[in-house]
Structure 1
Amino acid sequence: MHIHTLEQWHHSHDFSVDQNHAERNTKIVMLLTALTMVVEIVAGTIFGSMALLADGWHMTTHVAAFGVTIFAYQYARSNASNPQYTFGTGKVSVLGGFASAVALAVIAFVMGLESLGRFFQPHTILFNEAIRVAVIGLVVNVTSAFLLQDHHHHEHEDDHNHHDHNLRAAYVHVLADALTSIFAIIALFAGKFLGWVWIDAAMGFIGAAVIAKWSYGLVHHTGLILLDGAIDKQTKLAVVNAIEEDADNRVTDLHIWYVGQHHLAATISLVTHYPQTSEYYKNLLKDIPSLAHVSVEVNHCHGEPCVDIHRT
């Protein structure tokens, strides 16, 4: 009986979400992307197209990102109950995203240098062959987008409040890659029919810029979560209002941070003339999304209360 009581009060630190459908589709997309990546890089090198090479290198960002995503799903799932992780494994995918962002920055830098070299030393381009490969890359990108979009709609129907934002970002990034493929095709056609060979290198710069921008945004977002950065003021205000609108409670100390991509932890210290159990105050916060782990410290304030909760 005593053991049952302890289990009843135990906090779960499993902040992972069942993403079997997402994991399966991600594996398919990663395989398609990896095959197309190899074909585009080899073809871009042989046919002399920097735009095609840029698109191929851009696809490596996807392969790396999808690989990290799959690893994160599996690692987080297998270690969800591991006591070595104080707040569970919710940040595994965030850490993976940060590592991928660093790799993306390196790729963008290399692409930029290669494109710069092509401006001063243009290479001979076999336009017809390069165009065919670029079109194949575009088809793969569109197919991948549909696969990830299918999961997004399925997830939306099942649970509106637990989106896999990391996978949604991958979906948007695949669309961006499709746009890069379109740029490559445009550059190749412009070079073939208008003689604008320089536009091929220009599209390489555009591809590098897209990757660099995505890398910067990912570093900023994941870094904030990994370093327990402050969350938005709206969520903090919602927590304070939910507690202070009840009786004469006053929040004296508040810390809220991410323990996973979609889960928040909070420690709250409050003072009141009418102290209740910690569960009472946690229940006041039940309508605030993403709050998964809440600790409440209740301090009894002596003296005359500011609000008489017994008056009618």
Structure 2
Amino acid sequence: MNPHPHPNDLPAAHDHVFLGKNHQRNERRVWLVIALTATMMVVEIVAGTVYGSMALVADGWHMSTHAGAMLITALAYAYARRHARDTRFTFGTGKLGDLAGFASAVILALIALLIGWESFVRLANPVPISFNQAILVAVVGLAVNLVSAWLLRDDHEHHHHHGHDHQHGDDHGHEHARDNNLRSAYLHVMADALTSVLAIVALLLGRSYGWLWADPLMGLVGALVIARWSWGLIRDAGRVLLDAAPQSEEVRAEIREALAPTGDTITDLHVWQVGPGHFAAIVSLASVAPQAASAYKAMLAHIHELSHITLETEQLPAGSTA
């Protein structure tokens, strides 16, 4: 027997596909943004070389790090999609995006450190700036970043598709469907946009008042903001990877509420996120007269984000209490 059957060899009724509803759309958009970012990167490096602006050259290479980080996002989407039904992944590849988001957030933190260090160096040793050319390219860069941010926006259409015999209900909106992989690409674009805005302000001040120190000062401000964004993504993606997503508590509470009318005792309950908008649960019940598993699952059918349920029942002696 083939230990890793082709996706088409698996029973359609027992898929473990826990990808976000907009997985393929997000993947296409990330590739498009990578193309835009790479193009702008080349323009900045060439323009910086022609106009003698080291600031533009540095920003161009800075954009290359964001393009590289977004490449992680795109490849994670592609890998998760292609291996979604690979039986080696016990609960599918839905959490691969969180792994990629975590890695991308670490890169974002390193970028913040590099910007901060470069800003300190320029505060101590100011360099001449070709203001007009630098402002023009910074404005063009900001426009590209805004277009990219629009492409990567989170539409808050937190839906998902149920392709499992333990999954219930129609598509619906829910905050649990946050895609940390898309969020990481969005933050990289926003980091670029922020640095562009701060650069434009600093360059205008420098051109008008001769404040060369304004550029590195704005760089420090940008580094701090980017570092804060990075920490938020590291925290949220890390929680999902360690099965400690805060939303799990909400699903856990819904399960307890749904099963309360049975009078059975929940002796063990585990809930964890297996993908954007998808949660799995293991429920152990103790009862004098346990019901069929299908009856308990029917009671949980309204919890749409609960995509995989494993139930265990323990028969208690008549007259006993759990």
* TM-score normalised over the length of structure 2: 0.81
Alignment partner of 2:79 out of 75, 83, 91: 75
Q: Which amino acid aligns with 1:25?
A: R
Matched residues in 2 for 1:257 and 1:228: separation?
5
- Equivalent pair of 2:194/2:222 in contact (CA under 8 Å): no
Alignment partner of 2:317 out of 297, 302, 305: 302
Structure 1 unpaired stretches of 5+: 1-6, 307-312
Partner in structure 1 of residue 213 of structure 2: 198
- Cα distance, 1:8–1:99 mapped onto 2, change above 3 Å: closer
2:283 is the counterpart of 1:283: no
Cα shift readout 1:115-151 (whole Å, capped 9, x = no counterpart): 10111100011101100110110110122223334x8
2:255 is the counterpart of 1:239: yes
Partner in structure 2 of residue 310 of structure 1: none
Matched residues in 1 for 2:266 and 2:315: separation?
12
Partner in structure 1 of residue 15 of structure 2: 12
Partner in structure 2 of residue 256 of structure 1: 271
Partner in structure 1 of residue 167 of structure 2: none
Map 1:143-154 → 2, pairs under 5 A: 143-149=147-153, 152=155
* TM-score normalised over the length of structure 1: 0.83
- Cα distance, 1:263–1:70 mapped onto 2, change above 3 Å: same
Map 1:124-163 → 2, pairs under 5 A: 124-149=128-153, 152=155, 160-161=173-174
Cα shift readout 1:100-129 (whole Å, capped 9, x = no counterpart): 122222222122111101111000111011
Matched residues in 2 for 1:168 and 1:226: separation?
15
Partner in structure 1 of residue 117 of structure 2: 113
Alignment partner of 2:26 out of 5, 17, 22: 22
Cα shift readout 1:221-244 (whole Å, capped 9, x = no counterpart): 11111122254433221111111x
- Equivalent pair of 2:38/2:67 in contact (CA under 8 Å): yes
Partner in structure 2 of residue 86 of structure 1: 90
Partner in structure 2 of residue 47 of structure 1: 53
Structure 2 unpaired stretches of 5+: 1-9, 160-170
Say which is worse superposed, 69-78 or 222-231, in terms of deviation: 222-231
Alignment partner of 1:122 out of 126, 145, 158: 126
2:232 is the counterpart of 1:217: yes
Matched residues in 1 for 2:151 and 2:71: separation?
16
Matched residues in 2 for 1:21 and 1:10: separation?
25
- Cα distance, 1:164–1:139 mapped onto 2, change above 3 Å: same
Across the aligned residues of Structure 1 and Structure 2, the Cα RMSD in angstroms comes to: 3.0
- Cα distance, 1:237–1:159 mapped onto 2, change above 3 Å: closer
- Cα distance, 1:271–1:230 mapped onto 2, change above 3 Å: farther
- Cα distance, 1:37–1:210 mapped onto 2, change above 3 Å: farther
- Equivalent pair of 1:54/1:204 in contact (CA under 8 Å): no
Say which is worse superposed, 81-90 or 58-67, in terms of deviation: 58-67
Instruction: Calculate percent identity across the aligned residue pairs.
Output: 46
2:155 counterpart SS class: helix
- Equivalent pair of 2:119/2:216 in contact (CA under 8 Å): yes
